[in-house]
Amino acid sequence: MPSSQSSGPWIVVGFSGWNDAGGASFDAVMNIVDRYHLMPSVELDCEDYYDYQILRPVRRVTDSEATITWPTTTLWQGLDEEQPVVCVTGPEPNLRWRRYCADLIEKFARLDPAGVVVLGAMISDVPHTRPLPVSGTVSDAQMASRLGIDEVDYEGPVGLPSVLVEEVRKSGTDAMGLWAFVPQYAFEPPCPPAVLALLLRVEELTGLALVSEELRAQSQQWVEEVSQEATQTEGLPEYIRDMEQEQDADLPEGLTGDVLAVEFQSYLRNRRKDDPPRGEGSGPEA
């Protein structure tokens, strides 16, 4: 486990925008919000953080009454039995990232969190027919092994998720970034397998029950639909097979990616039988 001595919650953060291929990180956090019936507790004053010419407010009409919704960052809170559950969602801000991070970290400190995990998703050369991999920046090697992720050795331009992880660490709180890899030929939202991959790691980290039967079914349906669409694009089936063979070459002898995918689905089914979800209906009433 990370070195934090706090018994408080892990705060799970997901931004929409540039760092969210397939909408996976934002959707993953909203899965938690919906599953635990979390309620908005804080909305940042985002006037200084968003460029409204780039990220426009949205006008909606309900029962003939028009309202304008402004881009904002929301902190959500609720309970799993007696344990607090905390999430953060919002569009990636356009401006003043360091001040924005300081604003968030001030809110986090009031909750005395065990740590902060920031989710992201990136386009990559990965086959949709295999469980989608997750990489990350984790301060504890044992935790990285436990979560089944590879440490990121990337150098280059970064987005807000990477900046927030670094700023949270500098403040003295444990932080990690988790990134799901999304196939570059199927990156349009939604991407349920990437959501599943992220939630499995967050579930292992926090002890919350996050992976639903519905999400597993959506993931399987997505794989089948992408497989069907791939047959209609010249050269794509061969490209997918090449990636499968490359991934399979790194597996232990006698184990193929097809077998791994089947075993992964079996694992998900069995873990739900052995450990029924605590999240359904355990949060406060909306």
The CATH number of whichever domain residue 194 belongs to comes to 3.40.50.10900
How far is Cα 38 from Cα 33, in angstroms, rounded to an integer? 5
Does residue 246 sit within a domain?
no
Q: Using the structure block, give the residue that is written with the tokens 């989710």.
A: 119
CA-based nearest residue to 85, from 171, 190, 202? 202
Does residue 89 sit within a domain?
yes
Alpha helices (H) along the chain: 24-35, 97-109, 141-147, 160-170, 192-206, 213-230, 236-248, 257-274
Please give the structure tokens belonging to residue 33: 């919000």
Contact 204, 146 (CB under 8 A): yes
Please give the model's pTM, rounded to 2 decimal places. Answer: 0.85
Does residue 183 sit within a domain?
yes
Does residue 141 sit within a domain?
yes
Does residue 243 sit within a domain?
no
**Total domains in the fold of the chain:** 1
Could you read off the pLDDT tens digit of each residue along the chain, which spans 286 residues?
344 556 789 999 999 999 999 999 999 999 999 999 999 999 998 899 999 999 999 999 988 899 999 999 999 999 998 889 999 999 999 999 999 999 999 999 999 999 999 999 999 999 999 999 999 887 677 777 777 787 777 889 999 999 999 999 999 999 999 999 999 999 999 999 999 999 999 999 999 999 999 999 999 999 999 999 999 999 999 999 999 999 888 765 544 444 444 445 545 555 554 554 444 433 333 2
DSSP result, 177-228 = EEEEEEETTS-SSP-HHHHHHHHHHHHHHH------HHHHHHHHHHHHHHHH
- Determine if residue 94 is left, alpha or beta; phi over 0 gives left, psi from -120 to 50 gives alpha, anything else beta: alpha
- Give pLDDT, residue 135: 92
Contact 49, 219 (CB under 8 A): no
Backbone phi and psi for residue 172, each to the nearest 5 degrees, phi listed first? 100, 5
- Give pLDDT, residue 262: 45
Q: Give the tens place of pLDDT for each residue, 156-208.
A: 999 999 999 999 999 999 999 999 999 999 999 999 999 999 999 999 999 99
Question: H/E element holding 115?
Answer: strand 115-124
Helix (H, G, I), strand (E, B) or coil at 21: helix
CA-based nearest residue to 154, from 195, 117, 124, 196? 124
Does residue 82 sit within a domain?
yes
Does residue 248 sit within a domain?
no
Does residue 268 sit within a domain?
no
Give the distance from CA 220 to its chain's centroid: 18
Q: What is the CA radius of gyration of the chain?
A: 19
Structural domain including 69 reads 8-231
